[in-house]
């Protein structure tokens, strides 16, 4: 298996750097995120910095894990260790004669990429925080909080929200969801029922039991599909159904499920190691866990009690 370090280089305007593979090489003519295979005994950090310097002439200053991708081509198997780079020194150029391009995130689909690079695009599209609506919240308070978030999130970043309004009727949830979709263009909304998602044209978040009962993806690729996972079998089912992302829980002990044994960060990392999709850590999460989650291979953190209180403090 080829172990490859890959850099997703993002500038201050949010653009992503792509380079074009030479026509005479494997997957020639396709665009890719820059990087290259590690040398024997070389660390990931050293290999990443070396490859980016050799290919682009820039010196990586800071980087963090984004996603790990395993992919089998007919003639080789690759393991891509992908890191997000947003600080570097120098001006990028194709030092090996390759064509490069700075691309807006919403234009990445126009550039033909190798199959192994497709999950990287999904990870780029998703934010680091997956919000779940708190119990008992009404639409006025929810919109007040979302107004605050919408004013603060970086340009082009999605607000990822699971609308879980257990105290409301089906019709009320539909009405609130439609208001949110009309009000926030940057909102990626997920509801709990496939039929409701179909009616609204939004995404769905499947319970683990619903995930295991399916034999195919319930919505088209134009609508986001997420799932709750707690076991290896559920994660593998999510892979088979080609869902867009999952939550894995509980990572830490929670007040809402005090008797559920927490996975811990080591087990979280082991369980997600071969999962080629973004995974959010759920269960006992707070803002202080975001760096630890990234290092364990997570897309970010998900939750209610550990995320919304930070927002409440900011709102006063």
In this structure, what token pair is assigned to residue 63? 């980087």
Taking only the tens place, the pLDDT of each residue in 292-309 is: 999 999 999 999 877 775
pLDDT of residue 309: 57
Q: Is 33 annotated as a binding residue?
A: yes
pLDDT of residue 313: 56
Nearest to 277 by CA among 308, 246, 300: 246
Q: Is 35 annotated as a binding residue?
A: yes
Domain definitions of the chain by residue range: 2-112, 126-315
pLDDT of residue 315: 47
pLDDT of residue 168: 86
Q: Are 191 and 204 in contact (CB under 8 A)?
A: yes
Considering the segment(s) 2-112 as one domain, its CATH architecture is Alpha-Beta Complex (3.90)
Q: Which residues of the chain have pLDDT under 50?
A: 315-316
Q: Is 258 annotated as a binding residue?
A: no
Superfamily of the domain at 126-315: Aldolase class I (3.20.20.70)
pTM of the model: 0.90
Q: Is 104 annotated as a binding residue?
A: no
pLDDT of residue 42: 93
Nearest to 44 by CA among 9, 5, 78: 5
Residue 248: C-alpha distances to residues 118, 137, 217, 306 (Å)? 22, 25, 19, 16
Q: Across the chain, how many H-helices and E-strands are there?
A: 10, 15
DSSP string, 90-137: S----TTS--EEEE-GGGGGGS---GGGHHHHHHHHS-SEEEEPPTT-
- C-alpha 257/C-alpha 26 separation (Å) is 50
Q: Is 5 helix (H, G, I), strand (E, B) or coil?
A: strand
């Amino acid at each position: 298996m080829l172990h490859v370090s890959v850099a997703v280089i993002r500038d201050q305007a949010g653009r992503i750097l792509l380079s074009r593979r030479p026509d005479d090489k494997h997957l020639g003519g396709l665009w890719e995120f820059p990087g290259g295979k590690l040398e024997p005994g070389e660390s990931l950090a050293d290999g990443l910095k070396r490859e980016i310097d050799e290919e682009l002439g820039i010196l990586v200053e800071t980087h963090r894990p984004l996603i790990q991708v395993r992919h089998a081509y007919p003639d080789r198997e690759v393991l891509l260790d992908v890191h997000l780079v947003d600080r570097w020194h120098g001006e990028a150029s194709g030092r090996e004669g390759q064509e490069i391009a700075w691309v807006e995130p919403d234009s990445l689909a126009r550039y033909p990429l190798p199959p192994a690079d497709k999950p990287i695009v999904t990870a780029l599209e998703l934010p680091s925080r997956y919000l779940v609506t708190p119990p008992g919240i009404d639409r006025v308070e929810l919109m007040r909080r979302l107004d605050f978030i919408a004013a603060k999130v970086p340009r082009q970043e999605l607000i990822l929200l699971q609308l879980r309004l257990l105290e409301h009727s089906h019709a009320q949830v539909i009405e609130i969801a439609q208001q949110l979709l009309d009000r926030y263009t940057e909102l990626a909304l997920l509801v709990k029922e496939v039929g409701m998602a179909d009616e609204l044209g939004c995404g769905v978040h499947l319970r683990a039991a619903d995930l295991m009962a399916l034999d195919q993806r319930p919505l088209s690729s134009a609508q986001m599909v997420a799932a709750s996972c707690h076991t290896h079998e559920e994660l593998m089912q999510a892979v088979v159904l080609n869902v867009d992302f999952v939550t894995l829980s509980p990572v830490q002990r929670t007040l809402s499920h005090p008797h559920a044994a927490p996975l811990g960060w080591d087990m979280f990392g082991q369980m997600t190691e071969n999962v080629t999709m973004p995974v959010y850590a759920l269960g006992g999460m707070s803002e202080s866990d975001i760096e630890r989650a990234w290092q364990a291979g997570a897309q970010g953190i998900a939750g209610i009690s550990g995320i919304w209180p930070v927002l409440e403090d900011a709102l006063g």
